[in-house]
């Protein structure tokens, strides 16, 4: 790729050299002609130029994309000095090229082109998450900074009970520990671990914003919000509309959970007039609360099936969990995963090296080399995660015949929602279908099941929203390094109603304790995914004619659902997301009403429980 650019530069240099030589050996009229050539404006770009540009970008991007994917896979599954070096170098190349592509694509803003070409040009401009200015030093620095931030998170450790505890195990401790003093210690030590990221993060923001401005965006946040087939301002309004649809359900859940935690821990630890301590929620970031579901389950209600216990009793292994997740998709009519998936994936954590344990799905060659990277444990959480990650893989395979520019989700929330929709189908009916249980429990006590689902599905919504709301404020300059942490906790209090267990200061960088912040991964996709997963799920259940309670529906084995589902997946991002949404759900608008419908019995119950309580914070 560099070679082709070098040839262009050589050709330009040669042309100038010839012209200069001519100036020294010709008469005045010739000199005037040469001056005229240099003074003339370049020809205006045309639609044909745009098409040729896109063809070049797609060819070069596919080749470099595979190289980058393999380097990043090597790093993620074996963190060493050398793999970090390789990632930094390929990131530098990709950033430089992506910025060049984006700047060149901007030249065609005023050219009349067909809708497909225009969509591709827009994608090329929006295709870089963290752009750098067209400056080799800035590009190299951004690549080094982002690699350091990602590595700092993945290799982070704390000292606890006389042992060195790696990042992935801190999450396990937060799930299983119940002593509030110990939870506070684990939480605080992990969040303190992020302090060292702050300077690098601030520099990343500075470089990224400079790059975004070169592309014509106000800042990186505006760039991110531009990728949803609407203006950045319209998108900000849209997510607030969606949050408004689901907030009443979250508020009722928060009120009930706080009351139950107060019963367990007392007024000193859980005052009834304050936000809840973030370390008490069974999760490092209080983003999902399912691990404390036993505290809040309705009296007399079935607490739900202990899936972790069943998986262990049935002698499931990490491999069998992944095979079971694959089986769900094949039951819908999808082709099995290629043999290379099983040969090349990282399904369990290696014992001999540092790896990035954060679960992810990979498409290394934009064709068939799809893989998953997990540190799978035999547990209910990872059973669900396996279904989720394979959703990405089957989506990747479905759109593999699209042009490289359109190999992606209809919007980034779609990609996350696909597997999440399948995870909703992990119902008692599904468990019976695959032999995990012998008898489906009576539906009359399903309030426990709904509560358990809400403790993850509903509890996550404000966190999914606020992570990028915080970054939008950072990128816009509303928050500065001196106010990063205060701004973070202001949003967490406003949206989640949680507070830190220990005093935090401006020197802390608590956002860095969440993987997606140092990794630079946009997070709004996860909020949108939670909205879309229920919308997809309800549409799938309507397709199979499900008549029972919505939360009991399973579409396992439905070829009709699979056919409609695949029709949407195959579109990739070739059409505006409302077109893809309509193909599967019949609606052109993202809609939180499906969540409310799913949890309606629980909402009625929660309102009754909270009738005499003081809610809010």
Residue in the structure block whose two tokens are 């008469």: 27
Active-site annotation holder among 58, 66, 516, 582: 516
Q: Is the dihedral of CA 222, 227, 230, 234 positive or negative?
A: negative
Is residue 389 part of the annotated active site? The answer reads: yes
In a 10 Å sphere around its CB, with 0-12 CB exposed, 13-18 middle and 19+ buried, how is residue 435 labelled?
exposed
CA distances from 203 to 141, 145, 206 (A): 9, 8, 5
In a 10 Å sphere around its CB, with 0-12 CB exposed, 13-18 middle and 19+ buried, how is residue 604 labelled?
exposed
User: Per DSSP, which regions of 419-543 are E strands?
Assistant: 498-499
Length of the chain: 617
DSSP-derived secondary structure letter, 229: S
Of 470, 515, 603, which Cα lies nearest the Cα of 194? 515
Is residue 392 part of the annotated active site? The answer reads: no
Of 92, 85, 77, 107, which Cα lies nearest the Cα of 142? 92
Q: Say how far apart CA 287 and CA 296 lie, in whole Å.
A: 16
DSSP-derived secondary structure letter, 277: E
Residue in the structure block whose two tokens are 């401006």: 506
Q: Say how far apart CA 222 and CA 219 lie, in whole Å.
A: 5
Q: Say how far apart CA 72 and CA 8 lie, in whole Å.
A: 30
Q: Say how far apart CA 308 and CA 378 lie, in whole Å.
A: 7
DSSP 564-579: HHHHHHHTTTSS-HHH
Q: Say how far apart CA 139 and CA 446 lie, in whole Å.
A: 54
- Per the CB < 8 A criterion, the answer to whether 325 and 347 are in contact is no
Of 424, 282, 419, 400, which Cα lies nearest the Cα of 360? 419
**Helix axis angle, 198-214 relative to 81-106, nearest 10°?**
20
| Counts for the chain of helices (H) and strands (E), in that order | 27, 6
Q: Is the dihedral of CA 174, 176, 180, 185 positive or negative?
A: negative
DSSP-derived secondary structure letter, 526: H
- Per the CB < 8 A criterion, the answer to whether 573 and 227 are in contact is no
Q: Is the dihedral of CA 529, 532, 538, 540 positive or negative?
A: negative
User: Per DSSP, which regions of 205-339 are E strands?
Assistant: 276-277
**Helix axis angle, 167-176 relative to 180-192, nearest 10°?**
160
Encoded tokens for 593: 């009403």
Active-site annotation holder among 254, 389, 392, 415: 389
DSSP-derived secondary structure letter, 315: T
Q: Say how far apart CA 342 and CA 320 lie, in whole Å.
A: 11
152 Cβ neighbours under 8 A, 6+ residues apart: 196, 197, 200, 512, 518
Supply the residues annotated as catalytic: 389, 516
């Amino acid at each position: 790729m560099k070679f082709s650019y070098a040839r262009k530069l050589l050709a330009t240099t040669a042309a100038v050299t010839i012209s200069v030589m001519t100036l020294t050996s010709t008469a005045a009229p010739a000199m005037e002609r040469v001056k005229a050539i240099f003074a003339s404006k370049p020809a205006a770009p045309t639609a044909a130029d745009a098409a040729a540009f896109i063809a070049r970008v797609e060819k070069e991007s596919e080749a470099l994309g595979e190289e980058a994917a393999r380097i990043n896979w090597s790093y993620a599954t074996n963190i060493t000095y050398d793999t970090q070096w390789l990632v930094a170098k390929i990131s530098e190349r990709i950033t430089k090229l992506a910025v060049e592509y984006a700047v060149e694509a901007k030249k065609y803003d005023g050219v009349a082109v067909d809708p497909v070409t225009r969509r591709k040009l827009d994608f090329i401009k929006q295709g870089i998450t963290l752009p750098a200015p067209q400056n080799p030093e800035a590009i190299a620095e951004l690549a080094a900074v982002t690699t350091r931030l990602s590595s700092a998170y993945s290799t982070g450790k704390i000292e606890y009970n006389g042992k060195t505890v790696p990042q992935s195990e801190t999450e396990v401790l937060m799930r299983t520990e119940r002593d509030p003093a110990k939870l506070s210690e684990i939480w605080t030590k992990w969040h303190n671990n992020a302090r060292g990221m702050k300077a690098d993060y601030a520099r990343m923001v500075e470089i990224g914003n400079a790059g975004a401005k070169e592309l014509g965006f106000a800042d990186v946040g505006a760039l991110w919000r531009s990728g949803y087939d609407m203006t950045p301002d319209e998108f900000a309004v849209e997510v607030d509309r969606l949050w408004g649809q689901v907030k009443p359900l979250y508020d009722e859940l928060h009120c009930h959970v706080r009351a139950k935690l107060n019963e367990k821990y007392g007024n000193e630890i859980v005052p009834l007039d304050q936000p809840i301590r973030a370390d008490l929620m069974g999760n490092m970031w209080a983003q999902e609360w399912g691990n404390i579901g036993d505290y809040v389950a309705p009296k007399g209600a079935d607490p739900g099936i202990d899936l972790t216990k069943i998986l262990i009793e049935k002698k499931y292994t990490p491999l069998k969990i992944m095979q079971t997740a694959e089986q769900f998709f094949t039951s819908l009519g999808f082709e099995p995963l290629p043999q290379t998936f099983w040969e090349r994936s990282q399904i369990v954590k290696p014992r001999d090296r540092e790896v990035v344990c954060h679960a992810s799905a990979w498409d290394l060659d934009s064709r068939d080399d799809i893989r998953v990277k997990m540190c799978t444990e035999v547990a209910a959480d990872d059973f669900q995660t396996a279904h989720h990650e394979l959703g990405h893989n089957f989506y990747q395979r479905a759109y593999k015949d699209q042009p490289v520019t359109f190999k992606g989700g209809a919007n980034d929330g779609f990609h996350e929602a696909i597997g999440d929709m399948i995870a909703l189908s992990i119902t008692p009916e599904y468990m019976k279908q695959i032999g995990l249980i012998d008898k489906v429990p009576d539906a009359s006590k399903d309030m426990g099941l709904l509560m358990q689902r809400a403790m993850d599905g509903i509890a996550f919504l404000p966190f999914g929203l606020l992570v990028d709301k915080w970054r939008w404020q950072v990128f816009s300059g509303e928050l500065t390094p001196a106010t990063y942490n205060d701004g973070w906790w202001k949003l967490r209090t406003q949206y989640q109603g949680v507070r830190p267990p220990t005093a935090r200061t401006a020197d802390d960088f608590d956002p860095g304790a969440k993987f997606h912040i140092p990794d630079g991964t946009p997070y709004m996709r996860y909020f949108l995914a939670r909205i879309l997963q229920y919308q997809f799920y309800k549409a799938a259940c309507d397709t199979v004619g499900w008549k029972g309670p919505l939360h009991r529906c399973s579409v396992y084995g439905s070829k009709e659902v699979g056919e409609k589902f695949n029709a949407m997946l195959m579109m990739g991002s070739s059409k505006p997301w409302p077109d893809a949404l309509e193909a599967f759900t019949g609606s052109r608008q993202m809609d939180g009403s499906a969540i409310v419908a799913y949890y309606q019995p629980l909402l009625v119950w929660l309102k009754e429980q909270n009738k005499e309580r003081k809610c809010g914070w």
